[in-house]
Chain A
Amino acid sequence: MDTSPPSRRAVLRWGAGTAAALTAGPALTACGQSVGAARTTRQETTRRGEKVELVFWTWVPMQKTVDLWNRTHPGIHVEMQTIPANVQGGYQKMHSSLTAGNPPDLAQVEYHELPAFMLVNGLTNLSEYGADELRDSYVPWQWQQGVFDGRVYTIPQASGPMGLFHRRDLFEKWGIETPATWADYERAARVVKARGDGARMCAFAPNQPNWFAAMCWQRGARWVRTEDDTWLVDMDDDLSREVAEYWERMIRDDLVFVEPDISSAWYKHIQSGKIAAWVGPQWGDALLRGNAPGTAGKWRVARLPQWEAGQHVSANWGGSSTAILQGTRHPREALQFAHWINTDRRAVDLNVAAGYGWPAAAGIFRGSALDKPDPFFGGQRYNDVFTASDRAIDTSWKWSPTTDADFAQLQDAFGAAIAEGGSLAGALAEIQKRTVDNLRAKGLKARSAR
């Protein structure tokens, strides 16, 4: 199904910020109506004393933060509307509203979803409204997630730098040292199996493609890159395969439970001490605290195990931004709000209380609600670990514009591989092929990198 237009100029390097063509303007080709956003952003002037109304779609419970804004900013009123989370309906609503020409001014968009929105011209180019000046307020790798071709398209909000949540008490009971490398981790897992009376080190969750992507990200894989105007998909590379084989071995030797995580079955294992560790994101603290209050004081957080001893390479799981959708009539006010909600100290503290994740704002950590010893983690200042983790994340990782579909297929393929005794590494080739198909089905040029 090759429907390439007459003028597909092959110029750009993805995200590198070289040339300028993304905003070539809505130059419609001869046939048909345009795809994607039915309305483009335009700043409307407001009369003096007129109140600006903004609509904000999110699934993060940030109503209190929004209330604070409305109290302190009488000229701009933000109405927060709770929508279903991400692929559970949230993004579809955003896409539909863009197509229909009645989008909200602001919306919660995860980092890995941004390219998909770029594909439908769904985000406002914030560089036109002075967003570049805000750059220094944010952690660089998170800021970079919203930069396409040198232009800023979103305001980063939060991320999920990863660490190793583990049960100090159980580790001590079984004589396990906190693993520094993945090899240590595997050895420790064997000890848990031998001494743990039915317990396991952790669970492998086939339902969590985001987690697996993070593991490959840490190993140094880069699943997507671009060459001229073609998307190169590189999921079946040696590094990702190494990660897949590692977990395959853990599954085969029965060192881990195989079950969906962040699910009721998994919580049950956490509560009953059958799971000793979780390679999880910073925002996982609230999950443990809320779902396993009986284990309070027994948890600690350590650095992510490393592939090579002595290094500190980290990974990220999850993360989202406050995007200003294409079609708003108040981009300046929306940008003002997006920046405030993600950097204002009181706002961030309220967001933290709502469990929104790890702040993308730079330098906000000291003295924030996060910066204190926590009794649930035995008095450990556990967020220090995540501060270091956040700095050790490689910034060059890119997402494909079809990430959701790719992830759905990764999940399906891993599930099938485990059920049928196939190999995870073997499934990667299939997933890579499917990802290329997904990109092509969108009318994009794509091929396998190898």
Chain B
Amino acid sequence: MSVSTPRAEKPVASPHAPGAAARRRDGRPRRGVKPSRILLVALLTVAALYFLLPVYWLLVASTKSSADLFGTFGLWFSDPQWPHNLSNVFSYDDGVFWSWTWNSVLYAGVGGTLATLLAGAAGYALAVYRFRGREAVFKAVLAGVLLPSTALALPMYLLFSKVGLANTYWAVLIPSMVSPFGVYLCRIYAEAAVPTEMLEAARVDGAGEWRIFGTLVLRTMTPALVTVFLFQFVGIWNNYFLPLVMLSDDRKYPITLGLTTWQTAADRTPELYQLTVGGAFVSVLPLAAAMLVLQRYWRSGLTQGSVKG
């Protein structure tokens, strides 16, 4: 496979250190502005407008009253009342929005962290040890990647109900802790990145397997683990179906479910239109910020999954 070269390079110190690449970029000879370049920039700008337009609309809409939401031009401000709207979002129904935000952070944070650790351990085991059932486990994991998760939610609910887990935090957390794709990614990364010599040396020093994993391996695998974490975090944050099926107590809802509850009730309680839009805006902010800050981690880890194709 053609791409095996760059991947194998990854763990080894690359001759193309970031500095070298940057120098190349900065040192690129300036050319005259060609029409093709103008076209290119135009294309990129239009694309940016396309991706940002709905977010901009959301920003504008979150400043409007319910009446203005339907009554005024959507892409410009009209009688902005942001503080009023946002304080409404947070104070409505005894501040239930705070609970939703906190729950989302809890589900995505704790679920994402545990999923990452479990996937890291499992991926490492699949990569480094040869044992009976290894291929069977890996095939099952692959099948797990391909299964539509919505198909599993309902039977899972019935199972969880039988053991009294439905409508508890665990009902959302436990399924969130399982990331077959994470295992897949970690296995591939560990195969390439964890040097056998390092393990052998540690074993000779008398370190136990868990100790080796806890100290050496986790550190080596950090880029992949960060990617898995981000992947899982976003996945849980965006999840709608699982909490819909599992939870009945609205104080345990994540933001997605809470906002749709408002949206469906807006039929009868018009002020909820405004709250839905305002709440959507508030909920987009933290994740958008995280996206921007953590971009490079996405990139560093993602290649690992793709090289296997």
A residues with a Cβ closer than 8 A to B are 57, 59-61, 63, 81-85, 88-89, 92-93, 96-97, 99-102, 104, 262, 264, 267-268, 271-272, 283, 286-287, 290-294, 354-355
The answer on a CB contact under 8 Å between B166 and A286 is no
Given A84-B244, A267-B70, A268-B71, also A63-B261 (CB < 8 A): no
Given A102-B161, A268-B70, A292-B67, 15 other A-B contacts at CB below 8 A? A59-B261, A59-B265, A63-B94, A88-B264, A97-B166, A97-B248, A102-B164, A264-B70, A267-B70, A283-B268, A287-B270, A291-B67, A291-B70, A291-B270, A293-B67
- Which chain B residue lies CB-closest to A354? B269
The answer on a CB contact under 8 Å between B162 and A290 is no
Q: Scoring B residues 239 to 260 as 1 if CB is less than 8 Å from chain A, else 0, what string do you get?
A: 0000011001110000001001
The answer on a CB contact under 8 Å between B250 and A291 is no
Contacts of A81 in B (CB 8 A): 248-250
Q: Scoring B residues 248 to 286 as 1 if CB is less than 8 Å from chain A, else 0, what string do you get?
A: 111000000100110011011111010000000000000
Contacts of A264 in B (CB 8 A): 69-70, 273
- Which chain B residue lies CB-closest to A272? B71
Contacts of B265 in A (CB 8 A): 59, 61, 85
User: How many angstroms between the C-alpha atoms of A382 and B166 in the bound complex?
Assistant: 46
Given A83-B248, A93-B248, A291-B66, also A61-B158 (CB < 8 A): no
Q: Does B205 contact A (CB under 8 A)?
A: no
Contacts of A96 in B (CB 8 A): 154, 157-158, 161, 245
User: How many angstroms between the C-alpha atoms of A100 and B93 in the bound complex?
Assistant: 29
The count of chain B contact residues (Cβ–Cβ below 8 Å) is 31
Which A-B residue pairs are the 6 nearest by beta carbons? A100-B161, A290-B270, A82-B250, A85-B264, A291-B270, A88-B264
Contacts of B264 in A (CB 8 A): 59, 84-85, 88
- Which chain B residue lies CB-closest to A268? B70
User: How many angstroms between the C-alpha atoms of A355 and B271 in the bound complex?
Assistant: 12
The answer on a CB contact under 8 Å between A355 and B158 is no
- Which chain B residue lies CB-closest to A79? B249
User: How many angstroms between the C-alpha atoms of A354 and B270 in the bound complex?
Assistant: 11
A-B contact pairs, 12 of them (CB 8 A): A63-B94, A82-B93, A85-B261, A88-B264, A89-B244, A96-B154, A99-B158, A100-B161, A100-B166, A102-B161, A267-B70, A291-B273
A265 vs chain B, min Cβ distance (A): 9
The answer on a CB contact under 8 Å between B269 and A61 is yes
B110 vs chain A, min Cβ distance (A): 23
A292 vs chain B, min Cβ distance (A): 7
Contact of A101 among B161, B249, B260, B271 (CB under 8 A): B161
Interface of B is mostly: helix
Given A81-B248, A271-B71, A291-B67, also A286-B268 (CB < 8 A): yes
User: How many angstroms between the C-alpha atoms of A409 and B94 in the bound complex?
Assistant: 39
Contact of B260 among A57, A84, A97 (CB under 8 A): A84
A32 vs chain B, min Cβ distance (A): 16
The answer on a CB contact under 8 Å between A84 and B261 is yes
- Which chain B residue lies CB-closest to A295? B67
B159 vs chain A, min Cβ distance (A): 9
Given A63-B93, A84-B261, A291-B270, also A100-B71 (CB < 8 A): no
A43 vs chain B, min Cβ distance (A): 23
Contacts of B261 in A (CB 8 A): 59, 82-85
User: How many angstroms between the C-alpha atoms of A96 and B244 in the bound complex?
Assistant: 12
Given A59-B261, A59-B265, A271-B71, also A290-B271 (CB < 8 A): yes
The answer on a CB contact under 8 Å between A100 and B157 is yes
User: How many angstroms between the C-alpha atoms of A290 and B274 in the bound complex?
Assistant: 11
User: How many angstroms between the C-alpha atoms of A88 and B259 in the bound complex?
Assistant: 13
The answer on a CB contact under 8 Å between B269 and A100 is no
- Which chain A residue lies CB-closest to B160? A100
Contacts of B161 in A (CB 8 A): 96-97, 99-102
The answer on a CB contact under 8 Å between B71 and A355 is no
The answer on a CB contact under 8 Å between B267 and A262 is yes
The answer on a CB contact under 8 Å between B71 and A294 is yes
A352 vs chain B, min Cβ distance (A): 12
Given A88-B264, A267-B70, also A102-B166 (CB < 8 A): yes
User: How many angstroms between the C-alpha atoms of A271 and B71 in the bound complex?
Assistant: 7
User: How many angstroms between the C-alpha atoms of A267 and B118 in the bound complex?
Assistant: 50
Q: Scoring B residues 137 to 160 as 1 if CB is less than 8 Å from chain A, else 0, what string do you get?
A: 000000000000000001001100
Contacts of B270 in A (CB 8 A): 286-287, 290-291
Residues 63-98 of B at the A interface (beta carbon under 8 Å): 66-67, 69-71, 93-94
Contacts of B257 in A (CB 8 A): 84
User: How many angstroms between the C-alpha atoms of A88 and B257 in the bound complex?
Assistant: 11
The answer on a CB contact under 8 Å between A104 and B248 is yes
The answer on a CB contact under 8 Å between B93 and A83 is no
